[in-house]
Chain A
Amino acid sequence: MRWKTAEYSGWGRAIRANGQMARPEKRAALTALMAEEPAPAIGMRRSYGDACLNDGGRAVHMIRLDKFLGFDAETGILTAEAGLTLGEITRVMAPRGWLPAVLPGTGFATVGGAIANDVHGKNHHNAGTFAQHVVAMTLLTPDGAEHRVTPETTPDLFRATVGGVGQTGIIASAEMRLKRVKSDLVTVTERRANGFDEFIAMLDSSDTTYSVGWIDATARGADLGRGLLEEAETAGGLVPTPKSSRTVPMNAPRFALSAPVVKLFNAMWYRRVPKSGHTVVKPINDFFFQLDRIHDWNRLYGKNGFHQFQCVVPLSAAAQLRDMLERISASGLASPLAVLKRTGEGRAGMMSFPMEGYTLAVDLRAQPECEALIKRLEDMTADAGGRIYFAKDALCGADRIQQMYPDLDAWRAEVAKHDPEGRMITDLVRRLKLREPA
């Protein structure tokens, strides 16, 4: 396999890696590579920080292994190569009445990435995580062996692989259960939440299939925690209006997302929805992948990039979450992109992120002050009994991880069995010392 030396980064672009990349185009090439010179897999690099980076080392770019391998319309089980994107599955399968059971906020994520980060979506409270709908995987371990991994036959390896940020080997393909939908349209109801407590109450009483909140992370005082709750169901019978995509052509200047601009934008965005709320019909892609219509939107943060902080805290820790939000809004670093959602218990792997509670995600322009803020938020998260999300993280320290992820030791032991030489280690794993014995 020929290796290409390149600089690359995750979606946040704030940290970069320099290393060698292979890009197999056939399954046989991937198998040979894993037998001879194993390296960790990367996909569309939609994780924000360093989960998809291996600075100074090697990585296997999976995006050309992107075939549909089979679909059983009786059971709804789709078999796909790991490099296939969830957006492509949606594009091909939704018109036939099928949809991935869980969709994250971007359709550019690959099947392999969605499993390795055990991603969740706007229906987490009732559907759980992506990997809870995975019935089997073909895993290539760094010794060159091929394994069929299922929750029933190989429960430990399954639970170490899903959410396991690529450490057990490379997922070549997966079988996943799709869900039936009436059409490729969604009815969306948006309502205002005047402040944090009202927002939490609205989330607690929401019972729609999909629900997610946009939160104004710049609002302070009485407005703290205000936002918009979006509740949705898939619907049928109306004609969709596809919209064309656009591309951000270059890095935006610093002032584009400066504090006063963001504050003004957020206030306008909040008032976009009338006080009484409103209901609209959207094509499926516009609802699930709102930002995908603007290609390379990460350039809006300028050449320095950005960080995303995402945590989840238990239901009982809403007050601590409010404190965290206060800190974020006081920092003046927040961008318009901030999400508050109620999560359920669902998680499929030892290192999966979700827990029953509330998850908060906020984009922060990459600035020197970011590091201290995120470290503080990380501590507050751990104190509240919550955890941070590896797919988003770039700055956290190693010391609170054990507390956040109680299955870390079991995971570490299972990973060591399959990758004893540490060939699959990435920058994230090194930084958070995930593979080092406690």
Chain B
Amino acid sequence: MSETWIILGATSSMARALARALTERGDNLLLAGRDMDELEQMAEDCRLRGAPVAEAVAFDARDPKGFAVLVSRAEAVEGTLNAAVFVGSMPEQAEIDADPSLVDGTIADSFTGPARFLQMLAPLIEARGKGTVVGVGSVAGDRGRLGNYVYGSAKAGFATYLSGLRNRLTRSGGHVITVKPGFVDTAMTWGIEGMFLVAPPEKVAEDILKAVRKKRNVIYTPFFWRWIMLIIRSVPEPIFKKLSI
């Protein structure tokens, strides 16, 4: 029986790498996002690469009223229903400092929007008794830092939400994977100073699929970020508050 994946934020480069990897497995794809032209093209790309079904669906993390369309499309899916969440936005901290209203959008994109959608999707997974949710957080959520603490706090909230959702869905046979990428070579990191050990999006997709196969709970990708973040988390707050890393 073929599996179907809902991919939120499907036009991001990590999501696209995952979608292409899933087409190689012969899975069906519901590609959700805001840029419908891009999504339609991406759906055709996935079909030509071998996806039996690939559809573009409108999804805006800041507009929960629109979520029902995607949920009812998901209800119509037969077989295993999975979801992968890549939505998120990271304005520069300086922009947020200048315009505090940007906090709302950042948190809606990275946390409350996808959380509300997954809240609507959870009963469908429970009813089927199977299905995997992949939630993409960030190492930025592991500790608040000067450079991106609004984005980081949204990702931290999302990670806690995913932990709770895992607790819930595991009772009915579902599974939740929290993915914490380090620096990935995407439009978000392109041209930003101070990037190191930057991983290609294809590497993240490969790690996610491995985590799906092995039913992992929380993964860092590439793996060494687990150790980098262990060190960063263990710096005592009196010292950490003076650092600018």
Contacts and interface: CB of A to CB of B under 8 A. Distances in A.
B38 interface: yes
A27 B13 contact: no
A29 B45 CA distance: 18
B48 interface: yes
B119 interface: no
Contact of B190 (A2, A28, A67, A92): A2
Given A2-B191, A23-B187, A69 B38 contact: no
A3 B191 CA distance: 6
Contact of A26 (B11, B48, B49): B11
Contacts of A92: 48-50
A26 B38 contact: yes
Given A4-B191, A23-B190, A27-B41, A71 B48 contact: yes
A92 B45 CA distance: 11
A371 interface: no
B186 interface: yes
Given A28-B37, A28-B38, A92-B49, A68 B190 contact: no
Contact of B37 (A3, A4, A25, A27): A27
**A3, A69, A71 interface centre (most CB from chain B within 10 Å):** A69
Interface residues of A, number: 18
A312 B44 CA distance: 40
Contacts of A70: 44, 48
B194 to A, nearest CB: 13
A16 interface: no
B35 interface: yes
Nearest to A6: B191
A228 B20 CA distance: 40
Contacts of B191: 2-5
A25 B12 CA distance: 8
A68 B23 CA distance: 13
B187 A25 contact: yes
Interface in B172-217: 186-187, 190-192
Nearest to B49: A92
- Range of interface residues on B (Cβ < 8 Å): 10 to 19
Contacts of B190: 2, 4, 23
Contacts of B13: 25, 64
B64 to A, nearest CB: 24
Nearest to B23: A92
A23 B45 CA distance: 20
A197 to B, nearest CB: 48
Interface string A397-423: 000000000000000000000000000
B144 to A, nearest CB: 24
B42 interface: yes
Interface in B35-94: 35, 37-38, 41-42, 44-45, 48-50
A121 B192 CA distance: 40
Contacts of B49: 68, 92
Interface in A30-86: 64, 67-71
B37 A69 contact: no
Contacts of A5: 191
Contacts of B44: 67-70
A69 B37 CA distance: 11
Interface in A108-137: none
**B42, B44, B50, B190 interface centre (most CB from chain A within 10 Å):** B190
Contacts of A25: 11-13, 186-187
Contacts of B41: 27, 67, 69
Contacts of A64: 13
Interface in A4-27: 4-5, 23-27
A4 B190 CA distance: 7
A22 to B, nearest CB: 8
Interface in A203-255: none
A29 B37 CA distance: 12
A73 B19 CA distance: 24
B23 to A, nearest CB: 10
Contact of A27 (B12, B38, B50, B187): B38
A69 B46 CA distance: 9
Contacts of B12: 25
Contact of A68 (B48, B186, B187): B48
A26 B45 contact: no
A29 B38 CA distance: 10
Nearest to B12: A25
Contacts of A3: 191
Nearest to B11: A26
B162 to A, nearest CB: 26
Interface in B118-152: none
Nearest to A23: B190
Nearest to B40: A69
B15 to A, nearest CB: 11
Given A67-B41, A67-B45, 20 more contacts: A2-B187, A2-B191, A2-B192, A4-B190, A4-B191, A5-B191, A25-B12, A25-B13, A25-B186, A27-B37, A27-B38, A28-B35, A64-B13, A67-B42, A67-B44, A68-B49, A69-B41, A71-B48, A92-B49, A92-B50
6 contacts: A2-B191, A25-B11, A28-B35, A29-B187, A67-B44, A92-B50
Top 3 A-B pairs, shortest CB-CB distance: A4-B191, A67-B45, A68-B48
